[in-house]
Amino acid sequence: MNRPDPDTTPDLSAIITDLHDRSNWMNQPDPDTTPQTAQDVSLKVAIIVGSTRPGRKADTVADWIGDLAARRGDASYDVVDIADYALPNFDEPLPPLAGHYSHPHTQRWAATIDSYDAFVFVTPEYNHSTSGALKNAIDFLFAEWNDKAASFVSYGVNGGVRAVEHLRTIMGELKIADVRSAVALSVFDDFQDHTRFAPNAAHEQNVETMLDELIAWGTALKTVRASAMGK
């Protein structure tokens, strides 16, 4: 049986002391990277309207999320409507991974997404997936999505959950960390006569839980991006 040789085995108490000193050192705020004001630590969250259909539900749902989020006071939340960017079907000559965007519509969309730390994707379910418009808008960019956090609010006959499952697969390729909790709305139960939005009150707690997770991961990933930039 192998036994540690006391002459060559490091002193455990010395290691613990060393680790303790290191952890204290690591907990000291670094004046170069520590935010100086409350504004510096605030995350910017985009609530992305994932349908461009005339008469869509996505904008109403996004506004509802925006109103609930604004009450929290823990981040700045904006509704970002992909319809405002008039993106054609993907028309860049190079893959977004190359980081060279030739068209003004791509550059404008890239500047917007680049300015956010985290995303709430509001998505309908179209043919058991997300909308073509949202997939197209996502496809236009790469680096602007990387190392950020995302969550989902979906709606459909079964809560739009199949759209979310497809989006989760896409998130991995874009280096977006998607949180577990989501909000799934029913076009039957949460829309009167399939049109007027009247969400079940229980969804409000789901929104809070989802945003708690989004802010936690969004904050963590902001430090990941900051340390990557420092290299």
Residues that bind ligand FMN (CB under 6 A): 51, 53, 56-58, 124-128, 156-158, 187
Q: Whose Cβ is closer to ligand FMN: residue 68's or residue 197's?
A: 197
Q: Whose Cβ is closer to ligand FMN: residue 126's or residue 142's?
A: 126
CB of 165 to ligand FMN, least distance (A): 12
Distances (CA, A) of 191 to 79, 113, 218: 21, 30, 31
CB of 229 to ligand FMN, least distance (A): 37
Q: Whose Cβ is closer to ligand FMN: residue 35's or residue 132's?
A: 132
CB of 88 to ligand FMN, least distance (A): 19
CB of 12 to ligand FMN, least distance (A): 59
Q: Whose Cβ is closer to ligand FMN: residue 36's or residue 127's?
A: 127
